[in-house]
Structure 1
């Protein structure tokens, strides 16, 4: 995909969406009920994965048509797919539901269409198809949903059925709304249900759906609608700190493969005309976010959005990521619901306003550090009740950066395969152990404190102290075991002959013409880890500067200084590395 040259007009975003859709048109199943994009799949199998791909395109096409988009070439495809997918007699029937079924997730996109553009995605259907579709969607009221953001699928589906005059459950809808309310933490933040983590599901799921409710139900339920809008405005004030001046969002948590869905909250704010930011600032933020994503090789050679982050990478995926899953990113096209004559499209894009260099967000246990074109979050760690793939790496590192991303291991057997950037890694019992849970923690503007145990017999107290160029880590370790620990800095792109490494005088440093990543200590041994390929989200090949410490039995304390340097504006892109070498 070509990068955006002018993100000012609705026509450009229309063209961008349609250019992403075009390579998919020949990949529908014969009955059009499935979008078949790849051989990889998720735990729910190929049939549901195909249905997921079909449904997720609607997150983009619905606002496109709602805002006046004129290309209707996919409408007959959706009509046929809805007819076959919901007909029990069809060989492409999507199947009957069960408890906590992935198909409940995908119902929401169909409901989105029925609510926003019934004249295109409901009224043209035959009466038989309408009956089948309503009965198929109605199954959601017979089964349980996960106690998290999934509750809103019940809300959207029942609102859609109500909107078109079909049987629905007001009781299930209200029960789901009550559960959502129980997730609220204050200051605009929610938790993702019973799970303690606060990640992008708060923005591109919970707030997104709450704002959709506010848009659709403002007349019928004005009190709740105004509450959701007010909370979104409050949330925006701190969520803004997750984005740097270049538009890059903080890589943190699960579902990184949804990529520019990171900006979906801002797009929904634009759709609702919320005063979360000045219009030009909001427009500039969305535009820069899309620009930087389109510089990355996120599409395969057939034009399909791949599983991965800055490049195709199954290593970082979740068990629920199938070939169509990345099209959740289409939620960011919500702004296309604004017609071409809307003032948003005429506004001049503006940079972010001045923001604090340090900002604590207690609701997500983060101390945010801003240096213009980089945002770093110092964390005490968030620990999922459900241990998802690479949960420790996605939630429990000491620091996360918009510029340097984070790494996920290939294994815990060898240091280079563990790739423990931004972690204190212990080599014990021939395995690598890192922080996974905290015994206690606190976050202030001057320090992030945590007490944790990587493995039985070792307990660590860590203090993260921000500095102008990074942060200092002060560790006190009480161990019953003799072992080795590695205090690791940020991973840095390995551009082979263009990348230099230096380990001398208590400093380990990886550098190129764009900048550097380094660690320093008066007591440790400087090393550089060449991490296994495809472990970092942003850099396919990377090196990690680190300090090696011998840990005796008893108590030991040491300090490691973490620093990064970079050109003010990042130069992208070099085959997915996020950088190209600058010789000027």
Structure 2
């Protein structure tokens, strides 16, 4: 599928992998802006894009359209040193004047007031984009506004500083507002406190290896790059704060050591976590690293990741015939969304255009494109800090993420199966598959079934992760919770270990405290007719029955899906082992031939691999995971 945006011809000399250059990025920004502005109010303060309203209401959605597209326009014009051939900034200047004239009023143009996150919070999110857009374009927009418009804009923006954010990355929105106000000589004790408070919290959320939790819990996802790194590093860069750049830049560099593997050979970012309709915003941290120099990636690799992600979505229908970004992944997809998603939400994808702050003569644009990490070799990478394990195969370019540490349960929340979140609760995610819908059979899931009610995994307790030469592992445990009947069974717990090598995934679970009559179920990857993929699940120990089940609502990648399944009666304490695979290779070897022997003791299992005679040994009391060569080394 071709993109409706008017893009230049591919340049396969400079960009042999994607064909995209800086000119393609400028044209994409212009095309997205041109389409969105067809839906502007007469004064330009609101962009009322078509589609289902968010829970915040249509006025907030209109502000979101203004603010998020302003971010794209600001990167576009600032990166061109003020050249604005399409007159974008004049439109945004008019919009500010109209939107701030009578904030909170129910009329055609007025912006909603910024209140606490639990009252009317969404405008606080958008204030950061407005503030950052004004900061980036100060000489050509802010400095030319009438003084009374500047005063009105400041007063509206200060609502973000004076009200309570959500307890997560939202604290970086008043931080960004404060940074702008200070940059134009309007800082004071109020802005200083907003700045300090955000950085204080950021320190408590930093868990190492370049990973921040999104709040006080264990939510690790794409917000790490497009929010928790983006705002402080970009602020330090714009403020020319060398001390701050050194601290947060080093963390960004550490993050990018592994983050390059979050993109498949086809350019797709991992389909994992919330707000996936932001799509190619996943590349924002890569672009920021290239812009600021805080990256281990070469310029050619950085551009391949960025342009690969942009092209992936443009080629697969993310932009409709009307030129608008749809709510979904490839095209519209309801199950990908959250209740806060509105018609303009996808335009946080604008964050990827931070790449345009690198001028045309920057190595990001002049270096010859190089391959993405997932394209040049089979790779395994353990990230113990967030509890994630990455596995990629060069033959098909698929990247798989095995989740043993990231959930979306905040510290004050209890565990409830009614709040099951497919975007975090599954054991594995990839660049070629998405989770099944909540009402369908869950993919990549171990459940305990009691009286026909299936358990879900909510709060994930990591047990460790590591990698070696061509293999890696990650482990966690959880308390199964149920949507009906007793929410939990006393003493029931599931301990899970994933070991990967090549395209194979060894999945071992120890179920402890299962009541009489319980059953256990393990599912594999969800695939369908729209992706040429092979998904298989092969029992090694403990499983009794093998079949497939259909997920009629499909995934973000396929209109319906098939999910392989293993089932068995549960013992009071039992070990269950299986091999799983997801492959796009033609005629992959059957899983039944991958392992030649399995030895099981009470709390341990040993698997003998057919290809080289190596052994994987997993013990649960205490947890030990090892890979041994035929010589025993």
Q: TM-score normalised by the shorter chain: which range applies? A: 0.7 to 0.9
Q: 1:451 aligns with which of 477, 480, 484?
A: 477
- The whole-number CA distance in structure 2 between the counterparts of 1:390 and 1:290 is 32
Partner of 1:304, secondary structure, is coil
1:474 aligns to 2:508 (yes or no): yes
Q: 2:123 aligns with which of 103, 126, 132?
A: 103
CA contact 2:466–2:474 (8 Å) conserved in 1 = yes
* 1:46 paired residue number: 58
| TM-score normalised by length of structure 1 | 0.87
CA distances 1:447-483 after superposition (whole Å, capped 9, x unpaired)? 3333323232343232222243321222333311424
More relative contact order, 1 or 2 (CA 8 Å, 6+ apart): 1
1:73 aligns to 2:92 (yes or no): no
* Residues 189 and 104 of structure 1: CA distance in aligned 2, closer, same or farther (over 3 Å): same
1:304 aligns to 2:324 (yes or no): yes
* 2:450 paired residue number: 428
Q: 1:490 aligns with which of 525, 528, 533?
A: 525
Q: 2:569 aligns with which of 544, 550, 567?
A: 550
- The whole-number CA distance in structure 1 between the counterparts of 2:522 and 2:452 is 18
Partner of 2:169, secondary structure, is coil
1:465 aligns to 2:499 (yes or no): yes
* 1:131 paired residue number: 151
* Residues 460 and 357 of structure 1: CA distance in aligned 2, closer, same or farther (over 3 Å): same
Shift of 1:428: 3.4
Q: 2:430 aligns with which of 388, 401, 414?
A: 401
Greater shift after overlay, 519-528 or 363-372?
519-528
CA contact 1:214–1:226 (8 Å) conserved in 2 = no
- The whole-number CA distance in structure 2 between the counterparts of 1:520 and 1:253 is 27
CA distances 1:140-180 after superposition (whole Å, capped 9, x unpaired)? 22212223212221221112112223354222222222222
Residues matched between the structures, number: 540
Partner of 2:390, secondary structure, is strand
1:262 aligns to 2:262 (yes or no): no
Partner of 2:521, secondary structure, is strand
Partner of 2:552, secondary structure, is coil
CA distances 1:332-366 after superposition (whole Å, capped 9, x unpaired)? 01111223233432211011355672221011101
Greater shift after overlay, 388-397 or 49-58?
388-397
* Residues 440 and 207 of structure 1: CA distance in aligned 2, closer, same or farther (over 3 Å): closer
Q: 2:174 aligns with which of 148, 154, 157?
A: 154
CA contact 2:260–2:305 (8 Å) conserved in 1 = no
For the aligned residues, what is the CA RMSD?
2.4
1:187 aligns to 2:209 (yes or no): yes
* Residues 403 and 315 of structure 1: CA distance in aligned 2, closer, same or farther (over 3 Å): closer
Shift of 1:439: 5.5
* 1:285 paired residue number: 305
CA distances 1:276-297 after superposition (whole Å, capped 9, x unpaired)? 3111121122122222222222
1:346 aligns to 2:366 (yes or no): yes
* 2:625 paired residue number: none
- The whole-number CA distance in structure 2 between the counterparts of 1:490 and 1:277 is 31
Shift of 1:201: 0.9
- The whole-number CA distance in structure 2 between the counterparts of 1:329 and 1:180 is 23
CA distances 1:234-284 after superposition (whole Å, capped 9, x unpaired)? 211122222233322211111111111111111122332444311112112
* Residues 564 and 184 of structure 1: CA distance in aligned 2, closer, same or farther (over 3 Å): closer
* Residues 529 and 311 of structure 1: CA distance in aligned 2, closer, same or farther (over 3 Å): farther
Shift of 1:429: 4.0
Greater shift after overlay, 177-186 or 106-115?
177-186
Shift of 1:106: 0.8
* Residues 438 and 215 of structure 1: CA distance in aligned 2, closer, same or farther (over 3 Å): closer
- The whole-number CA distance in structure 1 between the counterparts of 2:150 and 2:355 is 28
- The whole-number CA distance in structure 2 between the counterparts of 1:171 and 1:435 is 39
1:567 aligns to 2:565 (yes or no): no
| TM-score normalised by length of structure 2 | 0.80
Mapping of residues 242-253 of structure 1, within 5 Å: 242-253=262-273
Structure 2: gaps (5+ residues): 12-18, 482-487, 587-633
1:530 aligns to 2:550 (yes or no): yes
* 1:501 paired residue number: none
Q: 1:29 aligns with which of 41, 46, 56?
A: 41
CA contact 1:138–1:167 (8 Å) conserved in 2 = no
Shift of 1:70: 3.0
* Residues 474 and 229 of structure 1: CA distance in aligned 2, closer, same or farther (over 3 Å): closer
- The whole-number CA distance in structure 1 between the counterparts of 2:115 and 2:398 is 44
Shift of 1:8: 4.5
- The whole-number CA distance in structure 2 between the counterparts of 1:473 and 1:444 is 15
- The whole-number CA distance in structure 2 between the counterparts of 1:163 and 1:439 is 43
Shift of 1:444: 3.0
- The whole-number CA distance in structure 1 between the counterparts of 2:320 and 2:559 is 15
- The whole-number CA distance in structure 1 between the counterparts of 2:322 and 2:435 is 27
- The whole-number CA distance in structure 2 between the counterparts of 1:80 and 1:93 is 12
Greater shift after overlay, 353-362 or 183-192?
353-362
Greater shift after overlay, 284-293 or 294-303?
294-303
* Residues 352 and 26 of structure 1: CA distance in aligned 2, closer, same or farther (over 3 Å): closer
Q: 1:202 aligns with which of 201, 224, 234?
A: 224
CA contact 2:2–2:316 (8 Å) conserved in 1 = no
Shift of 1:109: 1.2
CA distances 1:43-93 after superposition (whole Å, capped 9, x unpaired)? 211111110111000221111101224333332321221112111176222
CA contact 1:383–1:391 (8 Å) conserved in 2 = no
Shift of 1:132: 0.8
* Residues 425 and 38 of structure 1: CA distance in aligned 2, closer, same or farther (over 3 Å): farther
* 2:401 paired residue number: 377
Partner of 2:286, secondary structure, is helix
CA contact 2:382–2:473 (8 Å) conserved in 1 = no
Shift of 1:440: 6.0
Shift of 1:16: 1.4
- The whole-number CA distance in structure 2 between the counterparts of 1:465 and 1:342 is 41
Structure 1: gaps (5+ residues): 412-416, 496-511, 569-584
Partner of 2:402, secondary structure, is strand
